[in-house]
Amino acid sequence: MGSTSAEHSSPKSGTDGQIAPSGVGRRDLIKRSAALGLVSVPAMGFLSSCASGGGDGEEKAKAGKKTDKNPLAVNETAQMEFVLFDGGFGKEYAEDAVKVYEKAFPKAKVKFSATQKIQSTLQPRFNGGTPPDLIDNSGAEQMDMGVLVGKNQLADLTPLLDAPSYDDPSKKVRDTLRPGIVEMGQFDGEPVWIMYYAYTVYGVWYSQKALDRLDEKYPETWDEMLAVCAKAKKKGMAGWTYAGKYPYYIPFSLYPMIGKVGGREVLDAIDNLEPNAWKHPAVKACFEAYYELQQKGYVLKGTPGLDHIQSQTAWAKGEALFIPNGSWVENESANVIPKDFDLAVSAPTGIDSSDKMPFGTIWASGGEPFIVPAKAKNGTGGMEQLRIMLSEASSKNFTAKVKSLTAFNGGTDGISLTPGLKSGVAALEKAGDNVVNPRLQDWYVKLQKEQIGVSGLGEMMAGRATPAEAIKKIQGYADAAAKDDSIKHYKHQ
């Protein structure tokens, strides 16, 4: 206790505990220390910079010499820092690409790291103005792209897209990419902020073997779909299951179905948050079709309580025939999918022949978004690394290692494809130009996942809301999002 020591050090203090007038009393001490606390708090403000502070960072690396081999004029000696999301695709493919970079620029140091905690690692660095040169902004801790773009934190990747491609100098990088990749990287206007590296096929995933056993082929109209489900039910198998705890998986087959039934404009209107976009008859027809699955008992019992892994496991065990999912499912559920499962994907079933788009209309889009921060010290280095990754060799390496397509158009010749991947390539071929790309999930994350997914579709597919109620609720959420000026709004070009 401070007061006792004060007594002892004072020669005049009495034995009865009375302190000499000049000494520091207990009360005084408390008062003074409280005052000290009050004074020191604002003083700290000058000493420590606040969390959002930070300067402009250091100087950017000077441009190097522009040559045929170095079209982006990367500084040959500057350090390049690359942060990768260490998720389902692992990190080997990126490490391989880094080796190519190091070979091309032997004097440059490459600082490569892989993490699952993209946001916790990088958010402070963005705030401090010292972000790395290339980031794979993916996973559960993905930083909100809309905010990054809106706050001018990203570099325009147009120089990369206009640079000659790695394999063929007469072709620009942008001409070697799959459909939709460049558009997906745009938010409003010309600049391209994001380079999606993986290419994901969404749709209805199933076991060809299970369908064969039912003596059926994949249904193209909803009546056929109901017939297949009825047949499966007789054999003790549910027609459908989905990630009940994350009902925003349902749109992977529902959105392209809406596009097929009502045409692209319906999906564009939904993405643009137009008034009454969800009240379109095509939306209603598709919602009612899905609701019918639930009402007729064609959805695996207990599905609303399953997470994505649990639902995929039940489906792989043959408890359900169909599941809406993306092409990552082959890798993610590899250990539960039986060898003779014969995994296949199909474009979603439509309503009937009066649908606006042909059967085969599918949702495919980029995944694994790579970004180069505007304040990166060696941004051109980051772009060069991306150019290397978009070469045929790197793309093939990726496809072979992680069973997924890349943004590079091609790169599947000469390597053996897994059943799911093969079926995905076939589905893309069948679709041709009829590839739709709904953007809600990257433009308005909260609206898509929490509101449309969990509160709207989740409740409807659990049988707790009718299609009309779900549509009304979702339209309300969309209207609120359109009015909310704290979020940035986007429009299809």
Partner 1 sequence: MQHGKYRFIVGFLALPLGLYALFVIWPFIQSIYYSFTDWTGLSPEFKTVGFDNYTKMFHDDVFWKSLQHSLLFAVLLPVVTISLALFLSFMINVGGRRRRGGPAITGVRGSSFYKIVYFFPQVLSIAIVALLFAFAYNPDSGAINSVLRGVGLDSLQPLWLGDPNLALWCVMAVLVWSTVGFFVVLFSAGMASIPADLYEAALLDGAGRASTFFKITLPLLWDTVQSGWVYMGILALGAESFAVVQIMTTGPGGPDYSTTVLVLYVYQKAFRDGQAAYATTIGVALLVVTLLFAAVVMRLGRRERLEF
| Residue with smaller CB distance to partner 1, 54 or 88 | 54
Angle between helices 467-483 and 281-295 (to 10 degrees): 130
Among 83, 84, 135, 148, binds partner 1 (CB under 8 A): 148
Half-sphere exposure of 48 (CA within 13 A, CB side): 7
Quick one: DSSP state of residue 256? H
Question: Applying CB under 8 A, which of residues 13, 26, 29, 284 lies at the interface with partner 1?
Answer: 29
Site string for partner 1, 245-264 (x = CB under 8 A): xxx-----------------
**Of residues 72 and 210, the one with the C-beta less far from partner 1:** 210
Q: In degrees to the nearest 10, what's the CA dihedral of 409, 415, 419, 422?
A: 30
Residue 235: both structure tokens together = 């054999």
Measuring CA to CA, which residue among 150, 99, 80, 142 is closest to residue 117?
A: 142
- As a whole number of angstroms, the distance between CA 259 and CA 357 comes to 7
Please, what is the minimum distance in Å from the beta carbon of residue 302 to partner 1? 3
Work out whether the CA dihedral 471, 477, 480, 486 comes out positive or negative: negative
Q: Is 37 in the site for partner 1 (CB under 8 A)?
A: yes
Closest CA to 372 of 132, 127, 150: 132
Among 76, 292, 459, 479, binds partner 1 (CB under 8 A): 459
Considering the complex, what minimum distance in angstroms separates the CB of residue 49 from partner 1?
A: 10
Backbone angles phi, psi at 121, to 5 degrees: -80, -40
CA-CA distance, 487 to 489, in Å (whole number)? Answer: 6
Should residue 127 be labelled a site residue for partner 1 when binding is judged by CB under 8 A?
yes
> Is 236 near partner 1 (CB under 8 A)?
no
φ, ψ for residue 294 (rounded to 5)? -65, -50
Task: Please pick, from the candidates 13, 70, 79, 119, the single residue that binds partner 1 as defined by CB under 8 A.
Answer: 119
Q: Do 421 and 405 form a contact (C-beta atoms < 8 A)?
A: yes
Q: Please tell me whether residue 51 binds partner 1 under the rule CB under 8 A.
A: yes
Looking at residues 68 to 107 of the shown chain, list those that interact with partner 1 (rule: CB under 8 A). Answer: none
- In the list 181, 254, 286, 314, the residue contacting partner 1 (rule: CB under 8 A) is 314
Find, among 221, 257, 217, 461, the residue nearest to 348 by Cα.
257
User: Which residues between 318 and 337 bind partner 1 (CB under 8 A)?
Assistant: 319
Name which position in 75, 138, 153, 361 contacts partner 1 (CB under 8 A). 153
When the beta carbons of 146 and 358 are compared against partner 1, the nearer one is 146
* 27 binds partner 1 per the rule CB under 8 A: no
Contacts (CB under 8 A) with partner 1, residues 428-457: 445-446, 449-450, 453-455
Closest approach of partner 1 to the CB of residue 246, in Å: 7
- Binding of partner 1 at residue 170 (CB under 8 A)? no
Which region, judged by CB under 8 A, interacts with partner 1, from 2-10, 161-169, 204-212, 252-260? 2-10
**Does 40 help bind partner 1 (rule: CB under 8 A)?**
yes
Task: Judge residue 260's burial from the number of C-beta atoms within 10 Å of its C-beta, 0-12 exposed, 13-18 middle, 19 or more buried.
Answer: buried
Using CB under 8 A, which of 70, 121, 123, 331 touches partner 1?
Answer: 123
What mask of x and - would describe binding to partner 1 in positions 294 to 313, judged by CB under 8 A?
------xxxxxxxx--x---
Closer residue to partner 1 (CB): 141 or 288: 141
- The smaller minimum CB distance to partner 1, of residues 54 and 263, is found at 54
Report the nearest approach of partner 1 to the CB of residue 371 (Å). 12
Q: Does 425 bind partner 1 (CB under 8 A)?
A: no
For residue 304, CA distances in Å to 79, 240, 294, 307, 473 come to: 49, 12, 11, 8, 19
| Distance from the Cα of residue 129 to its chain's centroid | 24
Residue 343, CA distances (Å) to 65, 111, 261, 308, 346 in order: 49, 39, 26, 17, 10
Query: What count of Cα atoms within 13 Å lies in the side-chain half-sphere of residue 2?
Result: 11
152 binds partner 1 (CB under 8 A): yes
Give 418's DSSP letter: P
CA distance 475 to 490: 17
Query: Using CB under 8 A as the criterion, which residues of the chain lie in contact with partner 1 when the complex forms?
Result: 2, 5-6, 9-11, 22-24, 29, 33, 36-37, 40-41, 44-45, 48, 50-54, 119, 123, 126-129, 141, 143-144, 146-148, 150-153, 244-247, 300-307, 310, 314, 319, 445-446, 449-450, 453-455, 458-459, 462, 464, 486-487
